[in-house]
Amino acid sequence: MAGIIVLRPGVDWTATGGLFDWTLEFVIPRITDREAAERLQEIVDNNLRSLWIEDLSARAQQEIVDHWRDGLIAAGQQQLPDTDQKATVLRRLQELVEATYTAGFPGQVSS
């Protein structure tokens, strides 16, 4: 079952259920907004497979996006298993990072 992260209406990212969960689990321990972290954990624990980021506070949204931009790809390279699909999975993570810019979250486009 696939998961979806809606960054803004018309700007979303879909992934396999496992990658969706891993992407949320990446940020859960990193964000300071505990209410948002609990909500993300609830989504993972209950296999809800859907996150509308606008349901979170503006501060939590930006913090999540910042963590995805600053560390998601590197974490994927280090933590995800070395399989013949790893390059494809890393490209999917990069697509999420790129979508954060398309969605208009503040920050500079990474090089």
Overall number of domains in the chain: 1
> Left if phi > 0, otherwise alpha if psi is -120 to 50, otherwise beta: which for 67?
alpha
Q: Is residue 21 part of a domain?
A: yes
Cα–Cα distance for residue pair 75/23, rounded to 1 Å: 10
Domain of residue 10: give its range.
2-101
Cα–Cα distance for residue pair 41/86, rounded to 1 Å: 25
Q: Is residue 12 part of a domain?
A: yes
List pLDDT tens digits, range 17-73: 999 999 999 999 999 999 999 999 999 999 999 999 999 999 999 999 999 999 999
pTM for the complete prediction? 0.93
Cα separations in angstroms, 52 against 12, 49, 80, 110: 9, 10, 25, 24
Task: Evaluate if residue 111 carries a pLDDT over 50.
Answer: no
Q: Is residue 106 part of a domain?
A: no
List pLDDT tens digits, range 77-91: 999 999 999 999 999
Q: Is residue 62 part of a domain?
A: yes
Q: What is residue 108's predicted lDDT score, i.e. its pLDDT?
A: 60
